[in-house]
Amino acid sequence: MTGSAGAASQTFSIQSQAQIPTILELAISQTGASELRFGNIRPSALDATEAGPLSIIIDVTSNIGSRYQVTQAISGPLLNASGDEITPDHLTFTTTSTHSTGSAVGSPTVVVASSQAIYTSNPQGASDSIRADYKLTIPPSQAPGDYSAQMTYTVSSL
């Protein structure tokens, strides 16, 4: 025998495809956190007093690869069981990014009755955790009580 015959090689091509679903989700990490409740407040008869800060942690999971924005919308005035109210203009907030990847609201800002931006992600739309801190200024002679309002948070791509 002068040589051995090698095994013939064969090549096969296959086409593969992967589908990665788009994720843009928001979660509140505390129980009952979408309700702003400052507890039983006892206002002063002479001076405005403050309650808070009340902190809410908002976790955003994203793989969209572009900017997104988190907004808040309050349901109306803060009410107690007797129907007494404190209007949202007595409520201020600041936000901070725990991963420092996006733009937060660093200066105390008054809560408005309409939808309001509280955070904008970095250009890549990276996942982040946002802490929103709320302070309530209680007007003098306000009726005492446990005041609360519903806050709705929304995340949307830009």
The verdict on residue 141 lying in a domain is yes
Give percent of the chain with pLDDT exceeding 90.
59
At residue 109, the pLDDT reads 97
At residue 29, the pLDDT reads 73
**β-strand 91-97 against 128-138: which pairing, if any?**
antiparallel
Q: Is 63 helix (H, G, I), strand (E, B) or coil?
A: coil
**Which residues constitute the domain of residue 42?**
35-57+73-121+131-152
What is the tally of structural domains in the chain? 1
The verdict on residue 42 lying in a domain is yes
Backbone angles phi, psi at 90, to 5 degrees: -95, 5
At residue 126, the pLDDT reads 94
> Rounded distance, CA 118 to CA 64, Å?
19
At residue 25, the pLDDT reads 94
The verdict on residue 94 lying in a domain is yes
> What are the tens digits of pLDDT across the range 106-143?
999 999 989 999 999 999 999 999 999 999 999 888 88
- ω into 108 cis (within 30 of 0): no
Query: Which residues, at least 6 apart from 53, have a Cβ–Cβ distance to it below 8 Å?
Result: 133, 134, 135
The verdict on residue 106 lying in a domain is yes
When the pLDDT of each residue in the chain is averaged and rounded to a whole number, the result is 88
The verdict on residue 24 lying in a domain is no
The verdict on residue 22 lying in a domain is no
At residue 34, the pLDDT reads 67
Residue (of 140, 135, 125) closest to 69 by Cα position:
125
**β-strand 109-110 against 91-97: which pairing, if any?**
antiparallel
> What are the tens digits of pLDDT across the range 23-62?
999 998 765 456 788 888 877 767 778 888 999 999 999 9
Provide the pLDDT confidence category of residue 76 given band limits of 50, 70 and 90.
very high
